[in-house]
Chains A and B, each alone.
Chain A
């Protein structure tokens, strides 16, 4: 099970925020990945700003990406604002890309 979750997380690194040009995992947008039943994934995510115009695109990008995996038939994406995203959620790679360190 954990292997599939890790694979999903790894695959989600191909979904980029087109404005920041950083993938959603390194940006810290993915809060939780769950497999409630076999071949079904449930992703809890946020966005950097409520009312972000890329809202729909990024969320559906995540859905398409996970559903495209051979281990998964169905992906549910839930968007949450609680807790709100903070820069601390970014991975070291994300921070390096954004802040140019």
Chain B
């Protein structure tokens, strides 16, 4: 009996591994927001495809969101799938390669995008090592479930995204597949956003929503429809890029929206079955992000219906990254970081002496003002894109930058305390 208990130990990851990723990601977040602030004049006029913006976008998406996702997965995969990380040392090697790759890659994109190939390959190597780590870890999972489908597809989309990204740099340098440059470019963005981030957040939400709300007796059946409809939307949109078909584009954006709405409705059903009546603010912020995601997906359907998608894609993707991806990650990080540190510091003390609750680990007072800053910032950014007003952009982006710095500070405080 006691052996059985002891066998269940050892799934926890060495705390330095997830925290290396999180610390790096916070620096990348702040730097990316500074870069965006400095290039407001380009963004407001709809010029999204310029080296400085590429650099900021990759710092944000790879340096922050991907690194956070990796760090969190190093911690969450063992607990969510009840299987230890395959090789921790390998994890640290993977961290150093990926982090160096991203720094060099963002710098190359800023200075001379043509030279981004080698840094791109270093980044690719780092991400591939991560995929190997996750594949080996998930392989030992006894019984795959719907979460495995979401997380597995997200990881495959990530692989496809970086492969297409490398092809883009190659194409830029050598003219390779230049006829398909646009198709590759659009697929790269779609797979990186809807394929990698949305599917990953869907999958982990199915674990975290019931856990944070203590929901019981809910059905998981809609999850498979979420996956099928959303995935069909991605296939349809990629086909529309290839065939230049407007009908497929409309169908694709509609299916993505429909999948997202089923997911939103399903999460609401789970929340309805909760035992914990009062939900905490960081978790509510992550739920709010789902609402934002649904509206942004609707905006894509509307743009496509009015043949405005090519023009609207820039602002839509920008807001998708801020209000859906970033807000989700920020909400969940607010929960995950105290948990990581608590486990590290107090898991040996519980039962022997009084230990703090997770709520007491993180500055809860900061949560509301911080989330309001992010929300007001995002609203002002939306308005600045719609009205093409530079001063609105500066205020909105300025607020987001302040919020990002405060958020990083709040995270750092948990560890320093």
Contact = CB atoms under 8 A, between A and B. Distances in A.
**Bound pair: A and B?**
yes
Interface of A: 14-16, 18-21, 42, 48-66, 68, 76-79, 85-87, 90, 98-100
B277 A64 contact: no
Given A87-B216, A98-B275, A53 B79 contact: yes
Nearest to A90: B275
A76 B276 contact: no
Contact of A57 (B216, B347, B354): B347
B142 to A, nearest CB: 12
Nearest to B212: A19
B358 A48 contact: no
Contacts of B262: none
A16 to B, nearest CB: 7
Contacts of B339: 19, 53-54
A62 to B, nearest CB: 6
A90 B277 CA distance: 14
B346 interface: yes
Nearest to A42: B1
A55 B352 contact: no
Contact of A77 (B5, B342, B356): B5
Given A60-B9, A98-B214, 7 more contacts: A15-B351, A16-B355, A18-B357, A18-B358, A57-B342, A61-B347, A86-B216
Contact of A62 (B76, B211, B351): B351
Given A76-B2, A87-B275, A21 B352 contact: no
A19 B8 contact: no
Given A77-B5, A99-B277, A100-B277, A49 B210 contact: yes
A76 to B, nearest CB: 5
Contact of A60 (B75, B80, B347): B347
B82 A51 contact: yes
A51 B350 contact: no
B253 to A, nearest CB: 35
B278 A52 contact: no
B162 to A, nearest CB: 29
A44 B12 CA distance: 23
Interface string B205-218: 00100111010110
B1 A68 contact: no
B76 A78 contact: no
Contacts of A18: 342, 346, 350, 355-358
A90 B79 CA distance: 24
Interface string B227-254: 0000000000000000000000000000
Interface residues of B, number: 40
A76 B1 contact: yes
Nearest to B214: A48
B140 to A, nearest CB: 15
A10 to B, nearest CB: 14
A68 B352 contact: yes
B275 A21 contact: no
Contacts of B5: 59, 63, 76-79
Nearest to B350: A61
A51 B216 contact: no
Given A19-B358, A51-B79, A79 B350 contact: no
Contact of A65 (B9, B82, B351): B351
A98 B352 contact: no
Nearest to B356: A18
A19 B355 CA distance: 12
B416 interface: no
Interface in B1-30: 1-2, 4-5, 8-9, 11-12
A40 to B, nearest CB: 11
B204 to A, nearest CB: 12
Interface in B344-383: 346-348, 350-352, 354-359
A86 B8 CA distance: 22
Contacts of A60: 9, 347-348, 350-351
